[in-house]
Chains A and B, each alone.
Chain A
Amino acid sequence: MTFYITDGSEESFYTAVFDCYKDREGIITCRGDLQMTLDSTFRQIKTDESKCARVKNKIAEYDGAALNDIKLVLRSCAGNREQTALEYIRLIMQHKRPVRAMTHIPAVLEMEDIRKKVTGELHKMKGFLRFMENDRGVLYAPYSPDNDITDLIAPHFAERLKNQKFVIHDIKRKTAAMYDGNEIVVCHADGADIYLSEYEQTFEELWKLYYKSVNIEERPHERQMKGYMPVRYWKFLPEKRQ
Chain B
Amino acid sequence: MLDAERLEILTESAKYDVSCSSSGSKRVNRGGGIGNASVGGICHSFTPDGRCISLLKILMSNDCIYDCEYCPNRASADVKRASMTPEEICELTINFYKRNYIEGLFLSSAVCESPNKTMELLVRTITLLRKQYNFNGYIHLKGIPHADELLCMRAAHLADRMSYNIELPSEKSLKLLAPQKTRDSIMLPMKKLQAATIYDKENKIKKCARVIPAGQTTQMIIGASPESDGRILKLTQALYRNMGLKRVYYSSYIPVVKSSKLPQTGAGLLREHRLYQADWLLRFYGFDVEELCGEDDNLAAEFDPKCAWALKNLQLFPVEINTAPLETLLRVPGIGARGAYRIIEARRFCRLNFDNLKKMRIILKRAKHFITCNGKFYGADGEKMIKASLMLSDDMHRCEQLSIFSKPSETFAALTGEL
Chain A residues in the interface with B (C-beta under 8 A): 101-104, 106, 109, 123, 126-133, 139, 141, 157, 159-164, 199, 202-203, 205-207, 209-211, 213-225, 228-229, 237, 239-240
**Do residues B359 and A229 form an inter-chain contact, with CB atoms below 8 A?**
no
Q: Is the CB of A220 within 8 A of B349?
A: no
Q: Are A206 and B414 in contact (CB under 8 A)?
A: no
Beta-carbon contact of A160 and B359 below 8 Å:
no
Given A219-B269, A224-B50, check contact A213 B15 (CB 8 Å): yes
Give, as a whole number of angstroms, the nearest-CB distance from A216 to chain B. Answer: 5
Which residue of chain A lies nearest to B44 when distances are taken between CB atoms in the complex? A127
B35 to chain A, nearest CB (A): 6
Interchain CB contact under 8 A, A220 and B43: no
In the complex the two chains form, is A219's CB within 8 Å of B411's CB? yes
> Can you report 14 residue pairs joining A to B where beta carbons are below 8 Å apart?
A102-B349, A103-B360, A104-B352, A160-B29, A161-B35, A164-B98, A203-B95, A206-B96, A209-B4, A209-B11, A210-B96, A215-B51, A220-B408, A224-B414
Contacts A133-B98, A209-B7 known; A219 to B15 CB distance under 8 Å? no
State the CA gap A127–B42 with chains docked (Å): 6
Most buried by B among A127, A129, A203, A225: A127
Are A213 and B346 neighbours in the complex by a CB distance under 8 Å? no
For A104, A131, A206, the residue with the greatest tally of chain B CB atoms inside 10 Å of its CB is A104
Q: Which of B42, B266, B414 has the most CB of A within 10 A?
A: B42
What residues of chain A lie closer than 8 Å to B92, measured between beta carbons?
A: 206
Residues of the B chain whose Cβ atoms lie less than 8 Å from the Cβ of A220: 48-49, 407-408, 411
A102-B346, A206-B7, A220-B407 known, 16 other contacts, Cβ within 8 Å? A103-B359, A104-B349, A104-B352, A127-B42, A127-B103, A157-B100, A199-B95, A207-B99, A209-B8, A213-B12, A216-B15, A216-B254, A218-B256, A219-B414, A228-B46, A228-B52
Label chain B's interface by main secondary structure: loop
A221 contacts B7, CB within 8 Å? no
With a CB–CB cut-off of 8 A, which chain A residues contact B54?
A: 127
Contact between B47 and A211 (Cβ–Cβ < 8 Å)?
yes
**Is B38 an interface residue, CB under 8 A from the partner?**
yes
Is B336 in the interface zone, CB < 8 Å from A? no
Q: Write out, one digit per residue, whether chain B residues 40-76 have a CB within 8 A of any chain A CB (1) or not (0).
A: 1011111111111110110000000000000000000
Determine whether the beta carbon of A210 is less than 8 Å from that of B408: no
Measured between beta carbons, the chain B residues less than 8 angstroms from A213 are 7-8, 11-12, 15
Q: Do the beta carbons of B53 and A214 come within 8 Å of each other?
A: yes
Verify if B298 is at the interface (C-beta below 8 Å from A).
Answer: no
Asked whether A221 and B57 contact (CB < 8 A) given A141-B100, A213-B7, the answer is no
Q: Does B101 contact A (CB under 8 A)?
A: yes
B134-155, CB < 8 A from A: 134, 137
Q: Are B98 and A216 neighbours in the complex by a CB distance under 8 Å?
A: no
How far apart are the CA atoms of A129 and B359 in the complex, in Å? 33
Given A141-B100, A162-B33, A228-B43, CB of A215 within 8 Å of CB of B49? yes
Known: A214-B53, A219-B269. A225 touches B4 (CB 8 A): no
Tell me, rounded to whole Å, the shortest Cβ–Cβ distance linking A17 to chain B.
24
Which residues does chain A contribute within 8 Å of B359, judged by CB atoms? 103-104, 106, 109
